[in-house]
Structure 1
Amino acid sequence: MNIALWVVQGLLAALYLGAGVMKLARPREQMIASGNFDWAKDVTDNGLKGIGAVEVLGALGLILPWLTGIAPILTPIAAVGLVIVQVFAARAHIKIGDTKSLPVNVILLLLAAFVAVGRFAG
């Protein structure tokens, strides 16, 4: 079980770190212009940067506390935070009628929930 949790934690951390850094580094207008981030029209520049920061912190929280043994309770808490991120992401996609993104939101939510339950139990 520990190996499965580490694999999922690594995958989620890589995905969220990449997504978060992109939101922090790229201008909102550029992201909207790409056509893949229509939901970003409904948030401010600072809101988008805030989402990116939460994703980066969540990615780090999935790995570092459990790996180092320093405050390991933060790993499942980070996973719960990422579940919440996906709930709001799904809500944003539904609001703009982008239902094709919902399966990704659900899969990421379920993977983060798996980590949260597994690490709270272990």
Structure 2
Amino acid sequence: MNLALWIAAGLLAVVALAGGISKTFVPWERLRKIRGGEWVGHFSVGFVKTLGVLEILAAVGLILPAVLDVAPDVVPVTATCWVLLMVGAMITHLRHGSPRFMVLNLIYLALAAFVAWGRFGPEPFTA
């Protein structure tokens, strides 16, 4: 179970890092033209960049606290926050006609819920 939780957290961290870097550093106009990125046109540049920074922080919060054994309880809290972020992403993709991306967000939501459940419940980092 511990290995499965690490794998799930690692996958989510990669997804969060990739999404965060693109939202933070790729120009807003370019993001808007990418398939699945049409939603960006409905939000300000600042909002999109803020989401990007939050995703980068989520990537860090899913892995580093446990690896460094510094406040490892941050991992399930971060996973719970990721669940909430994915709910928002699903609503956004639904509103802007991208159901395919909703399914992807649902998968990420399920992985984050698994990590939150596992680290709050049967496999916490602290005894």
- Normalized against structure 1, the TM-score is what? 0.96
Residue identity opposite 1:73 in structure 2: D
How far off is 1:31 after superposition?
0.7
Contact 2:36 2:101 in 1 (8 A): no
Q: Does 1:55 align with 2:55?
A: yes
Distance in 1 (CA, whole Å) between partners of 2:114 and 2:83 is 10
Partner of 1:6: 6
Hey, which bits of structure 1, 4+ residues long, moved more than 4 A? none
Unmatched segments (≥5 aa) in structure 1: none
Distance in 2 (CA, whole Å) between partners of 1:4 and 1:35 is 31
Partner of 1:65: 65
Unmatched segments (≥5 aa) in structure 2: none
Superposed, 1:97-108 pairs within 5 Å as 97-108=97-108
Distance in 1 (CA, whole Å) between partners of 2:29 and 2:111 is 30
- Structure number having the greater helix percentage: 1
How far off is 1:97 after superposition?
1.9
Distance in 2 (CA, whole Å) between partners of 1:108 and 1:102 is 10
Distance in 1 (CA, whole Å) between partners of 2:35 and 2:70 is 41
Q: Single out whichever of 81-90 and 31-40 deviates more from structure 2.
A: 31-40
Matched residue pairs, number?
122
Superposed, 1:1-122 pairs within 5 Å as 1-121=1-121, 122=124
User: SS state of the match for residue 102, structure 2?
Assistant: helix
Distance in 1 (CA, whole Å) between partners of 2:9 and 2:34 is 29
